[in-house]
Amino acid sequence: MELNSHNKQEYPPMHTCEHILNQTMVRMFGCPRSKNAHIERKKSKCDYELKAAPTEDQIVELTLKVNEIIDLHLPVTFGLMPREEAGRIVDLSKLPDDASETLRIVRVGEYDACACIGQHVENTSELGHFEIISHDYEEGRWRVRFRLVGSR
């Protein structure tokens, strides 16, 4: 069995936070998950396709929601399933064409499910606190830079 490749060097708390941020963006704005993300230990960035720049109120709400999910101390679990079955519960549009027929589905509690081979924490309690450092909007792309305070 083969799984699609992934940068395994990503810092697990940041990468797990990316899953939560993606799901929160999908729920709040109906946009796709970030197709362009750069995840580092100290700070990360994600780009989202949005028709308009989020308002300051929405950005506050986004931060609150991500932290609310983190603070639920949700278990992060994974399981293998055939691609066809996975396609019914997760968005596979980000998956490379050469991805394997069997996918690893990572779940953050009941909040998020995503096909991913990266490294994750076992519980969102390891993430600490999510903070947005800066953001900007240009031609349909909202770029958000963020960090985690007190992750372990």
CA distance linking residue 68 with residue 111, whole number of Å: 11
Site for Zn ion in 63-82 (CB under 5 A): none
Closer to Zn ion by Cβ: residue 79 or 140:
79
Of 13 and 54, nearer to Zn ion (C-beta) is: 13
Strands (E), the chain: 36-38, 44-49, 76-82, 102-108, 112-115, 129-138, 141-149
12 binds Zn ion (CB under 5 A): no
Contacts of 74 (CB under 8 A, 6+ apart): 108, 109, 111, 123, 124
13 interacts with Zn ion by CB under 5 A? no
Q: According to CB under 5 A, which one of 116, 121, 127, 148 is a site residue for Zn ion?
A: 116
Q: Which of 24, 104, 118, 124 binds Zn ion (CB under 5 A)?
A: 118
Interface contacts to Zn ion, rule CB under 5 A: 116, 118
